[in-house]
Amino acid sequence: MRNKIPATLGAVILLTVSGCEKDGEQQEAAATAPTQAAVIADAERPARLFLQQISSNSAIIKWRGSADQACIAKASDNLSSQAQCLPAHDTESNHREVRFAKLTPDTQYHYSVGGFTDRTTRFHTAPESGQLPADGNTHIWIIGDSGSTSYEHPKDTFPFAGKSKAVMDGYLHYNSTHNNEPLDLFLMLGDNAYVDGTDDQWQKAVFEIYTGLLSQAPLWPTIGNHEMGGVDFDIPEQGIIFGSGGSTSADPNSYMSMDNRVPSRVPYLDIFTLPTKAELGGVPSGTEQYYSFNYGNVHIVSLDSQLSARDEGQRAAMKEWLIADLSSNNQHWTLVIFHHPPYSKSSHDSDTEPSMEMGIDQPIISMRQEFTPVFEDYGVDLVYSGHSHAYERSYYLNGHRGDAITFDAAKHAELNPAGEPAIGYGDEAYSQVSVGSQRDDKVVYSVAGSSGFVNLGEGKLDHPAHSVQKNDPQGRHGLEEMGSVVVDAGATELTARFINEKGQVLDTVTIVR
Amino acid sequence: MIRSLLSAKAIAITWLALAALVPLIAAPVLAHPGAEDQLHHLNQQITQHPNQQKLFIKRGALLSRLGQYNKAQADFARAQSLGTPERVMFELGVHYYRTQQLVQAKSSFDRSLQHFPNYLPALEYRAKVHRDTGNYASALQDFTAFLALSPYSNPGQFLSVAKMIIQEESNIEAALLIIDQGMERLGVTPQLQNYAISLELKANRTDAAIERHQLLAPSARVSPGWQLTMARLLISAKRSEEAKAHIEQAKIQLVTLKKTPANQALEQQIQQLELMIAS
């Protein structure tokens, strides 16, 4: 049986990090005198420890710290005496990593790094491509714009301090009361380290918040505008002003933060080890900025709406790759993530005029006009974005490329028998092969940018392509709530749920095949 | 200066940035805390170490970014007098480029690169100067060198340079060279190889296009789309029997795949290709 995620994970992590207490498992391991230094008593958890590219037969363990090797063993084997140990190799910005190969599919492993191990240092390999996990379900957690923990603010002036962790606790609480499903994939929708995506901000907002999850499930990110730091704006009569999240450059080497204006490579690309050569399925992208992979019967694509989308040539190249990738995809379910939402009326407005006025939001238009046709033609089921700081989830859409005012439910959405847009759950769950068109040509688009704070700006949550939310007190097309998304993909049914910080399910959408 | 010591005003700016950037720019209380801090810090350091060249370079660069061009120029001049002038040339070149003094910018980047030939930012900037002054041959040379040496690049950058070559001088061989350089570096990707195939066809080299398409097979997982493109290329090369085999494979694959608009379009393509073979 696969390991469960401890509901009290946060507390466990704190104890482990501080080295104040060991659980029974650790004490036993220390007592067996490891022969390969796979486990060392009192070894400290690395400053950051996370998993990358877990496939059916390989895994990358990555960390920062002095540990110079990692060891791995099947959960059924003894980590002290039966482990396979490999030396680490250094990667950018003082990270170290080890890639283990020839692992067994759909199998639980535990591991140590520099002799450190605890109850969170374990993971499950993916099932063979196209197969379901043994428990029958691929369990995915998605957070967007979660980086508020690293936002430094004068005391008591920021109402969202600690909320990223609250959102995680909400998910863990939900999970503990719903089969305690082990986490297979952890997706981030961008803006996960405010305000400039510096390495230090990544540490505070990600590695020190989701510590236990990151050492158990692979993290798959996408680039948000705040990952690219900011730029100096020259404002008449005001002078030069640094605007965090305001970069409109397509060059990952043009990154600047408020504290360092010398252009350099974006920290995001130094932190993660992402597939460029279709190491986990999909088609080689040749860049870590956008990539794809398979996990069992799910295909996931991470697009780059922040950098590549801003340059016509690079955008065309990304689209060409996407078409090639989706053309060769035959998994049951396909999920796409990128930062800038094609449809939103929240803190960002996806209509053409406000997007173009905003400058930084040009990718919203590009992604809607140039990429949504590809999603709909090539069998994508779900698209998740962030950027707007609320929750919005569309009807089952096809062909809506214009501003909100041009949305015509009869033309652009799956309809129920009454001729209204089908809501996506209960009797009106969506069918992968659309009831209306009799082909797989519709997509659910969702904005989940409230995993760190919620903010509507001037938005009114009134985009008509988004479903009216029954749990919104004002009956709007969205939820002014903090939370995250859980996707469960089985053999014949995929369900996505928006979970608030109390662990309550506020929205559900189901697609059947 | 650590972030927690930033002024409340600075904090307000970053918070607004989280919400939206338009209010950030329009807000009347805005200041420039990051640069002010930096400038203050550099001023202090220069007071303590008035003969350190690198401090003047740093301050000159900062002042240039802030639009205080005369002060920046003065700092660069002072920096040149305090040590090896070539160490100043990159930031001075950026300053000239920013102020659209392209002749001086090129001269500065030339001097910088003579002294530090592998300094990539200077190479990229000089390529931009060449491009902006219409000197495409030199722009191409610098962009190519930049792509070859840059530790990080993506397929779109190679593709953009290749397309610039075609647009400016219709030089298929030079464009293919760039594409192949990209694939040597990043691996065979559809973005690059598909463009290379289109160029081979433009040069009437169908066999070369077929060879290139074959190289996409492992990554394309031999999808029905790949099969039909191969069939089309083979028909162009008058190898109809081989083309038929690929069409049959595509048909078999499509039976098991989702009924997407893309796959339905492939079914129509099959009919067209079969008609082409029959005729």
Kindly provide the ipTM of the predicted complex, given to two decimals: 0.89
Angle at A457 between CA A451 and CA A460, to 5 degrees: 95
Q: Does the structure show a pLDDT above 90 at B38?
A: no
Give the separation between CA B105 and CA B89, rounded to whole angstroms. Answer: 9
Residue A16 located in a structural domain: no
* Residue B130 dihedral angles phi and psi, to the nearest 5°: -60, -45
Q: Is A124 helix (H, G, I), strand (E, B) or coil?
A: strand
Q: So what's the pLDDT on residue A36?
A: 57
Number of domains composing chain A: 2
User: What is the DSSP code string of A43-71?
Assistant: PPPPSEEEEE---SS-EEEEEESS--EEE
Which domain-ending residue is among A73, A96, A124? A124
Q: Do A359 and A454 have their domain in common? A: yes
Nearest to B14 among A244, A315, A453 (CB): A244
Q: How far apart are CA A349 and CA A364, in angstroms?
A: 9
Domain-embedded: residue A362: yes
Q: In this model, does residue A7 exceed pLDDT 60?
A: no
First to last CA, chain B: 76
DSSP chain B: --GGGS-HHHHHHHHHHHH-HHHHHH-TT---HHHHHHHHHHHHHHHH-TT-HHHHHHHHHHHHHTT-HHHHHHHHHHHHHHS-THHHHHHHHHHHHHTT-HHHHHHHHHHHHHHSTT-HHHHHHHHHHHHHTT-HHHHHHHHHHHHHH-S---HHHHHHHHHHHHHHH--HHHHHHHHHHHHHHH---HHHHHHHHHHHHHTT-HHHHHHHHHHTHHHHTT-HHHHHHHHHHHHHTT-HHHHHHHHHHHHHHHHHS---HHHHHHHHHHHHHHHHHH-
| Sheet with strand A95-100: strands edge to edge | A48-52, A59-64, A95-100, A89-91
Q: Classify the phi-psi angles of A19: left when phi > 0, otherwise alpha if psi is within -120 to 50, otherwise beta.
A: left
Q: What is the pLDDT of residue A160?
A: 85
pLDDT tens profile A236-248: 666 667 888 988 8
Q: Quick one: pLDDT at residue A46?
A: 96
Check A241 against B24: CB less than 8 A apart: yes
| Nearest residue in chain A measured CA to CA from B26 | A235
User: What is the per-residue pLDDT for A298?
Assistant: 98
List the CATH number of the domain containing A413: 3.60.21.10
For residue A326, give the H/E element and its range.
helix A312-327
If asked whether residues A497 and A375 sit together in one domain, one would say: yes
Answer positive or negative: Cα dihedral of A152, A153, A154, A159: negative
Rounded average pLDDT over A81-109: 96
Q: Which two tokens stand for residue A264?
A: 């350099």
Burial label, B267 (beta-carbon count in 10 A; 0-12, 13-18, 19+):
middle
Q: Which of A235, A233, A251 is nearest to A243 (CA)?
A: A233
State the smallest CA–CA distance between residue A1 and chain B in angstroms. Answer: 33
Q: Is the pLDDT of residue A287 over 60?
A: yes
State which residues form the domain around A60: 48-124
Which of A57-71, A264-278, B56-70, B194-208 has the lowest average pLDDT? Answer: B56-70
User: Is the domain of A145 the same as that of A226?
Assistant: yes
The reply to whether A105 and A222 lie within a common domain is no
Same domain for A132 and A102:
no
Residue A342 belongs to a domain = yes
CB B95 within 8 A of CB B69: yes
Residue of A nearest to B12 (CA): A153
Query: What is the C-alpha separation between A272 and A264, in angstroms, rounded?
Result: 16
Question: Between the CA of residue B196 and those of B193, B231, B236, what are the distances in Å?
Answer: 5, 18, 17
User: CB contact, 8 Å: B15 with chain A?
Assistant: yes
A389/A414 same-domain check: yes
> A339 and A480 share a domain?
yes
Residue A489, in any domain of the structure: yes
Same-domain pairing of A227 and A149? yes
Q: Which two tokens stand for residue A26?
A: 């650790």
Amino acid at B199: L
Strand A291-295's sheet: what is its strand order?
A: A291-295, A298-302, A333-337, A382-385, A443-448, A391-397
Identify the weakest region by mean pLDDT among A225-229, A284-288, B38-42, B218-222. B218-222
pLDDT tens digits, residue range A244-263? 898 888 888 889 898 887 77
Evaluate if residue A112 carries a pLDDT over 60. Answer: yes
Q: Is B149 on the interface with A (CB under 8 A)?
A: no
Cβ–Cβ below 8 Å for A311 and B160:
yes
**Residues A59 and A159 both lie in one domain:** no
**Which of the four pLDDT bands, split at 50, 70 and 90, describes residue A235?**
low
Taking the CA of residue A36 and the nearest CA in chain B, the distance in Å comes to 36
Contacts of B194 in chain A (CB under 8 A): 320, 324
Q: Which of A386, A397, A273, A375 is nearest to A325 (CA)?
A: A375
Q: Is residue B264 less than 8 Å (CB to CB) from chain A?
A: yes
pLDDT on residue B48 = 92
In this predicted model, what pLDDT tens digit does every residue of B189-240 receive, in sequence order?
999 999 999 999 999 999 999 999 999 987 666 899 999 999 999 999 999 9
**Tell me, what's the pLDDT at A236?**
63
Indicate whether A271 and A142 sit together in one domain: yes
Distances (CA, A) of B149 to A181, A311, B127, B146, B153: 47, 21, 14, 5, 9
Residue A7 included in any domain = no
CA distances from B99 to A237, B94, B105, B110, B203 (A): 20, 9, 9, 18, 42
Cβ-based neighbours of B162, under 8 Å, separated by 6 or more:
B175, B176, B178, B179, B182, B195
Residue A360 maps to a domain: yes
Residues A314, B8: C-beta atoms closer than 8 Å: no
Q: What is the CATH number of the domain that holds A63?
A: 2.60.40.10
The model's confidence at residue A234, banded by pLDDT at 50, 70 and 90, is: low
User: Which pLDDT does position B220 carry in this prediction?
Assistant: 62
What is each CA distance from A114 to A23, A43, A64, B101, in whole angstroms?
18, 7, 11, 55
Of A124, A150, A173, which one is at a domain's C-terminal end? A124
- Summarised one tens digit per residue, pLDDT across range A456-487 is 999 999 999 999 999 999 999 999 999 999 99
Across chain A, mean pLDDT equals 90
- Cα gap B135→B123, rounded to integer Å: 15
Is residue A308's pLDDT more than 70? yes
pLDDT, one tens digit per residue, over B88-136 is 999 999 999 988 899 999 999 999 999 988 788 889 889 889 988 988 8
pLDDT at A367: 98
With a pLDDT cut of 90, the percent of chain B lying above it is 59
Among partner residues B11, B21, B66, which is closest to A240 by beta-carbon distance?
A: B66
Does residue A162 sit in the same domain as residue A100? no
What's the pLDDT score for residue A479?
Answer: 98
Residue A70, pLDDT score? 97
Two tokens, residue A92: 């950018």
Q: Is the dihedral of CA A116, A119, A121, A127 positive or negative?
A: positive
Evaluate whether residue A8 is within a structural domain: no
Note whether A370 and A386 are same-domain residues. yes
Q: How far is B131 from chain A (nearest CA, A)?
A: 16
In contact, A510 and A157? CB cutoff 8 Å: no
pLDDT in tens, A120-147: 999 999 999 999 999 999 999 999 999 9
Q: Which of residues 75-94 of B touch A (CB under 8 A)?
A: none
Cβ distance B153 to B122 under 8 Å? no
User: Does residue A32 fall inside a structural domain?
Assistant: no
- pLDDT at res. A313: 83
Site of tokens 């001269």:
B107
Confidence label for A159 from pLDDT (cuts 50, 70 and 90): confident
Q: Decide which of A85, A101, A124 is a domain's last residue.
A: A124
Which contiguous run of DSSP H or E holds residue A12? Answer: helix A9-18
Decide if A449 contacts A103 (C-beta within 8 A). no
Tokens of A484: 């995250």
CA distances from B86 to B50, B62, B102, B113 (A): 20, 18, 18, 9
Residue A486 in contact with residue A141, Cβ under 8 Å?
A: yes
* CB < 8 Å & 24+ apart, contacts of B198-206: B199/B166, B199/B172, B199/B175, B200/B176, B201/B236, B202/B172, B203/B172, B206/B233, B206/B236, B206/B237
